[in-house]
A and B are shown apart, each in its own frame.
Chain A
Amino acid sequence: MAETQLDDVRKVFTETDGNEIVAVNDVSIDIEDGEFLVLVGPSGCGKSTTLRMIAGLETISDGDIRLDDRVINDVPAKDRDIAMVFQSYALYPHMTVRENMAFGLEESTDLSDDEIAARVEETAEMMGIDPLLDRKPEELSGGQQQRVALGRAIVREPAVFLMDEPLSNLDAKLRAQMRTELQQLQEQLETTTVYVTHDQTEAMTMGDRIAILNDGELQQVGTPLECYHEPANVFVADFIGEPAMNFFDVTRRDADGDGAVLVNETLEYTVSADISTAIGDRDDLVLGVRPEDISIERSEGDQRRADGHTVPASVTVVEPTGDENIVYLDLGADRSERIIATIDGMSQVEAGDRVVVHVPEDAVHVFDGETNEALHNRRVESNEPRVPNV
C-alpha cells in the first residue's frame, strides 16, 4: 500500500529519422493510498505509456514518479514492488497456474517454499481458482485465464496494482461481472490501483477517481460524477457519457436585461444572467447538452415555447434498448444539425415524427469555442447528485 505521485512526467519517443513524438506531456497526478484510479482516453492518448512508466517498463524522459515520497525513476521494474495485469494476461504458457502464481513470490521475496505454497493456495481460494491450480494456461477459458492473471498479481501483495485493460478480452457479460468483482476485491485489499482502459463505462463505474488523457495531455482528474457533470473542457464532456453529449457551435447575442441569446443557423437559445456572466464577452462558444437531459414533446407544426429553450425537430432514427429509446433528431427547418436524445423506453416516438425538443437551461454546458475550456457547467444539487446515464 502506498501513495503514488506523478510529477510533471513526460515521455518523448525519438523515431529513427530523428522525429520526436511526445507521448506523455507533463502529467501530474497524486494517487492516494488505497485509491482506485482509472486512466482513460482514446487509443494513442498516452495512458498505457503512463502506466508502463509507473511499472518501470518504460524510461521517464522528464519529471518524477514517487512511491511513498521515494523517487523511483531509475529503480528497475523488479525492485518497485508493483504487480501488473496485462491485457493479454501474459501467463507463462509452460507453467501451471500454481507455478505462474508462485513465480513472482519466488523471484521477488525470500519466502520459503512452504510459505509461498500457502500464500498461493490462499489467494487461489479467494479467487475461486483453486481447482485450476495444476492446469496449464492453454487448458483454461478466457475468463479463467483472466482470473489467474489477477490472482498472480494479488498473491504478490504489492504496493501498487497496475492493470492495463485487463477486461477488454472478455465478452460483454463476463466483463460486467468481473468489473464488479474487481472493484469488490480492490476495496477488500485496499491496495492502490492504477487501471488503464479506453472504455468510459469501465472508467465511470470502477474508479474512485478517473484521469482523462488526450494526446498525452491530462485533461481532468476527478471523481466519475465530477467528470460527468463538471467536465473541464469539450474533450472530457464528449468522451465521458454514452451516447455522447450534443454540441452546438454558437455565437453570443445580447438580449433583454442581463441575459443573452446563443445563436447559430438553427438555434436560438436564451440563457439567463449567471450563464451570461460566465461567458463574459467571448463570442465563439460551444453549447453542450447531454442526451438524457433533452425532452421531446409532440407538436403540430413549428411552434416554440416562449422561454426560448425549444427547437422544432424531426425524428430520423429510433434505437430502442428496452429501458430507454435513443432518438436521433434533425434540428431546424433545413435539418442541418443532428442531435441525440435518450428518452423513456415506454414513450412512443417513431421515425418521421415532427416534434419539439426542449433543452432545460439548468442542464446546459457552455464552452469557450477557441480554448475548448468549460465556462459554465450544469447545475448539480450537491446533496443529491444525479445518477449518470452511462
Chain B
Amino acid sequence: MKRFLLLLRSIRRTQGEGPESERTSGERRVMTDGGTSEKRSTFQRWLDSDIVQSAPFWLPPFLLMGFFVYAAIGWNFLLSLTEYSGFGDPDYSNLGLQNYWAMLDDPGMWAATRNTFVLLVGFTVVCLIVGLLLALLLDREIRFSRSFRTIYLLPFALSFIVTAQFWRWMYNVNNGIINQFIGVFGLGPYSWLGSPKLVLGAVIFALVWQFSGYTMIIYLAALRSIPNDQYEAARADGASTVRMYWRVIIPQLRPAMVSATVTLVLFALKAFDFLYATFDGYRPRRGADILATKMVRESFGRSEWAYGSSIALMLFVLSLGVITPYLYNQYKRGNL
C-alpha cells in the first residue's frame, strides 16, 4: 500500500500537477544545473520506469486473470496427477501420471476422442463450405439480399438450448418433420438421434445449420473488401465466372477462412452445451460422446475428479494445438 501511494505521487510528479510538485521539480532542476544534484538511485529509476508507472492499470486485471484462469489450469493439472475421487479431499502427497495411462486403456476415451475429431473436422469443413457458398451468392447483389442475410444469420442468434430442442423435435423417429419428409419418398423412418451410426452426423448437420450463417458473415465482410476491379480484371483477362471465383476471389478470402476456422474448431472442441440440451444431460447416445461430455460425466456423474481433470487437460492441450499456429501466424504478420 505504501509503495502504491509512492507510485501515485511519482505519477503526479511526472505530470507536473499542483503547486507543490511544481516547486519540487523546480528545485530539482536547479540542483542538476548546479552540478551538485544527488544521483538518482537504481530504485528511483525503477520506480519511474514505464512498467511500474502503468502498473495501476494493468496489474489488477493481470492478477485476476492469473488467479482465476491460469492458476485454475495449474490446479487442474495438479488434480489430474492425484487419485482424487468420491467425497473427501484430494491427496497431493502421491502424484503420478496414472490417470493418463488409464486414458490409454479406456475404450470410451478413444471413442470420445475419435468422435471429437470427426465432429471437429466434419463440422468445420462443411460449415466453411456452406458459409462460403452462401456468401458468394449473397455478394452477387441478388434481390432481397439483406433479408436473406438476416435469415441465414438468425440461427446463430438463437440459444443452443432452443435450437437443440428444435432439432430434437425435427429428428423425432415417429412424428419428426425430417422423417415425415423423407417418408414422402418412401424412405425411413430413421432413428436419427438413437442410432450410433447416424447420431454424430445428425448432430453435425444441426450444428452446421446453426453456424454457417456466422461463417457467411465473416466471408461476406472479406468479400466486400475486395475491390470491384479484381472481378473486372479477371473477366477482362478471360476468366469465366467459376474460374474467376476459384482463382482470384476465393484465394483472397484466406485470412477470413483462417479466423473462421479457429472460431469453429474451438467451438467444436467444446460443443458441450448443444449435446447437453439435445440429450437432456451429459450422457449422449453411443456414437455421439465427445471429450467434453465425457469429462463432465467422469467428474460430476461418477465423481472421478482426478480422471475428469486429466480429460480436461487433454482438451486444453488440443485447444492449444489449434490456437498456437494461428497466434504464431498473427504474431509473424505483426498483428499481435
Does A108 have its Cβ within 8 Å of any Cβ on chain B? yes
- Of the stretches B28-36, B38-46, B235-243, the one at the interface is B235-243
In the complex, residue of chain B having the shortest beta-carbon distance to the beta carbon of A92: B248
Does B251 have its Cβ within 8 Å of any Cβ on chain A? yes
Does A288 have its Cβ within 8 Å of any Cβ on chain B? no
| Binary contact track B249-284/A, C-beta < 8 Å → 1, others 0 | 001101000000000000000000000000000000
- Of the stretches A81-89, A122-130, A234-242, the one at the interface is A81-89
In the complex, residue of chain A having the shortest beta-carbon distance to the beta carbon of B239: A107
A90 contacts B233, CB within 8 Å?
yes
Query: A92 is contacted by which of B230, B235, B238, B240 (Cβ under 8 Å)?
Result: B230
B227 contacts A90, CB within 8 Å?
yes
Knowing A93-B252, A94-B251, A94-B252, the reply to whether A88 touches B227 (Cβ < 8 A) is yes
Query: B232 is contacted by which of A79, A86, A93 (Cβ under 8 Å)?
Result: A86
Query: Roughly how many angstroms separate A225 CA and B113 CA in the complex, as a whole number?
Result: 80
In the complex, residue of chain B having the shortest beta-carbon distance to the beta carbon of A57: B232
Query: Roughly how many angstroms separate A79 CA and B235 CA in the complex, as a whole number?
Result: 9
Query: Roughly how many angstroms separate A94 CA and B238 CA in the complex, as a whole number?
Result: 18
Query: Roughly how many angstroms separate A104 CA and B252 CA in the complex, as a whole number?
Result: 18
A104 contacts B254, CB within 8 Å?
no
A107 contacts B238, CB within 8 Å?
yes
Does A77 have its Cβ within 8 Å of any Cβ on chain B? yes
Query: B237 is contacted by which of A52, A56, A103 (Cβ under 8 Å)?
Result: A103
Does A55 have its Cβ within 8 Å of any Cβ on chain B? yes
In the complex, residue of chain A having the shortest beta-carbon distance to the beta carbon of B229: A90
Does A78 have its Cβ within 8 Å of any Cβ on chain B? yes
Does B302 have its Cβ within 8 Å of any Cβ on chain A? no
Residues of B within 8 Å of A, CB-based: how many?
Answer: 18
Query: Roughly how many angstroms separate A57 CA and B234 CA in the complex, as a whole number?
Result: 11
Within 8 A of A (CB), among B141-164: none
B238 contacts A108, CB within 8 Å?
yes
Query: Roughly how many angstroms separate A121 CA and B236 CA in the complex, as a whole number?
Result: 21
Q: Which residues of A contact B230 (CB under 8 A)?
A: 90, 92
Residue among B237, B240, B247, B248 facing the most chain A CB atoms (10 A cut-off): B237
Residue among A103, A108, A162 facing the most chain B CB atoms (10 A cut-off): A103
The majority secondary structure among interface residues of chain A is: mixed
| Binary contact track A55-66/B, C-beta < 8 Å → 1, others 0 | 111000000000
Q: Which residues of A contact B229 (CB under 8 A)?
A: 86, 88, 90
In the complex, residue of chain B having the shortest beta-carbon distance to the beta carbon of A88: B229
Query: A94 is contacted by which of B227, B240, B254 (Cβ under 8 Å)?
Result: B254
Query: Roughly how many angstroms separate A94 CA and B255 CA in the complex, as a whole number?
Result: 11
Query: Roughly how many angstroms separate A25 CA and B236 CA in the complex, as a whole number?
Result: 24
Q: Which residues of A contact B243 (CB under 8 A)?
A: 107
Within 8 A of A (CB), among B200-251: 227, 229-230, 232-240, 243, 247-248, 251
Query: A77 is contacted by which of B227, B236, B247, B252 (Cβ under 8 Å)?
Result: B236
A57 contacts B248, CB within 8 Å?
no
B232 contacts A84, CB within 8 Å?
yes
Closest approach, in angstroms, between the C-beta of B101 and any C-beta of chain A? 47
Residue among B232, B251, B254 facing the most chain A CB atoms (10 A cut-off): B232
Query: Roughly how many angstroms separate A94 CA and B235 CA in the complex, as a whole number?
Result: 17
B236 contacts A57, CB within 8 Å?
yes
B236 contacts A84, CB within 8 Å?
yes
B238 contacts A84, CB within 8 Å?
no
Closest approach, in angstroms, between the C-beta of B230 and any C-beta of chain A? 6
Query: Roughly how many angstroms separate A87 CA and B235 CA in the complex, as a whole number?
Result: 16
Within 8 A of B (CB), among A31-83: 52, 55-57, 76-79, 82-83
Q: Which residues of B contact A77 (CB under 8 A)?
A: 232, 235-236
Query: Roughly how many angstroms separate A177 CA and B248 CA in the complex, as a whole number?
Result: 31
Query: Roughly how many angstroms separate A343 CA and B236 CA in the complex, as a whole number?
Result: 47
Query: Roughly how many angstroms separate A325 CA and B236 CA in the complex, as a whole number?
Result: 46
Query: Roughly how many angstroms separate A108 CA and B247 CA in the complex, as a whole number?
Result: 14
Closest approach, in angstroms, between the C-beta of A108 and any C-beta of chain B? 3
Within 8 A of B (CB), among A94-114: 94, 103-104, 107-109
Closest approach, in angstroms, between the C-beta of A149 and any C-beta of chain B? 9
Query: Roughly how many angstroms separate A76 CA and B252 CA in the complex, as a whole number?
Result: 24
Q: Which residues of A contact B233 (CB under 8 A)?
A: 84, 86, 90, 92
Closest approach, in angstroms, between the C-beta of B235 and any C-beta of chain A? 4
Query: Roughly how many angstroms separate A389 CA and B49 CA in the complex, as a whole number?
Result: 64
Q: Which residues of B contact A88 (CB under 8 A)?
A: 227, 229
Query: Roughly how many angstroms separate A107 CA and B254 CA in the complex, as a whole number?
Result: 22
B227 contacts A78, CB within 8 Å?
no
In the complex, residue of chain B having the shortest beta-carbon distance to the beta carbon of A58: B232
A57 contacts B235, CB within 8 Å?
yes
Knowing A84-B232, A86-B232, A103-B247, the reply to whether A108 touches B252 (Cβ < 8 A) is no
Closest approach, in angstroms, between the C-beta of B253 and any C-beta of chain A? 10
Query: Roughly how many angstroms separate A103 CA and B230 CA in the complex, as a whole number?
Result: 13
Closest approach, in angstroms, between the C-beta of B131 and any C-beta of chain A? 20
Knowing A92-B248, A94-B252, A94-B254, the reply to whether A107 touches B236 (Cβ < 8 A) is no
| Binary contact track A130-163/B, C-beta < 8 Å → 1, others 0 | 0000000000000000000000100010000010
B227 contacts A108, CB within 8 Å?
no
Closest approach, in angstroms, between the C-beta of B140 and any C-beta of chain A? 15
In the complex, residue of chain B having the shortest beta-carbon distance to the beta carbon of A55: B236
B232 contacts A78, CB within 8 Å?
no
Closest approach, in angstroms, between the C-beta of A119 and any C-beta of chain B? 14
Query: Roughly how many angstroms separate A366 CA and B20 CA in the complex, as a whole number?
Result: 81
Q: Which residues of B contact A107 (CB under 8 A)?
A: 234, 237-240, 243, 247
Closest approach, in angstroms, between the C-beta of A260 and any C-beta of chain B? 54
Query: Roughly how many angstroms separate A300 CA and B227 CA in the complex, as a whole number?
Result: 63
Query: Roughly how many angstroms separate A82 CA and B236 CA in the complex, as a whole number?
Result: 7
A83 contacts B236, CB within 8 Å?
yes
Closest approach, in angstroms, between the C-beta of B283 and any C-beta of chain A? 47
Q: Which residues of A contact B247 (CB under 8 A)?
A: 103, 107
Q: Which residues of B contact A162 (CB under 8 A)?
A: 236
Of all A-B residue pairs in the complex, the 5 with the closest CB atoms, nearest first, are A108-B238, A90-B229, A104-B237, A90-B233, A84-B236
Can you list 28 A-B pairs with a CB-CB distance of less than 8 A? A55-B232, A55-B236, A57-B232, A57-B236, A77-B232, A77-B236, A78-B235, A78-B238, A78-B240, A83-B237, A84-B233, A84-B236, A86-B229, A88-B227, A90-B229, A90-B233, A92-B230, A92-B233, A94-B254, A103-B234, A103-B239, A107-B234, A107-B237, A107-B247, A108-B238, A152-B237, A156-B237, A162-B236
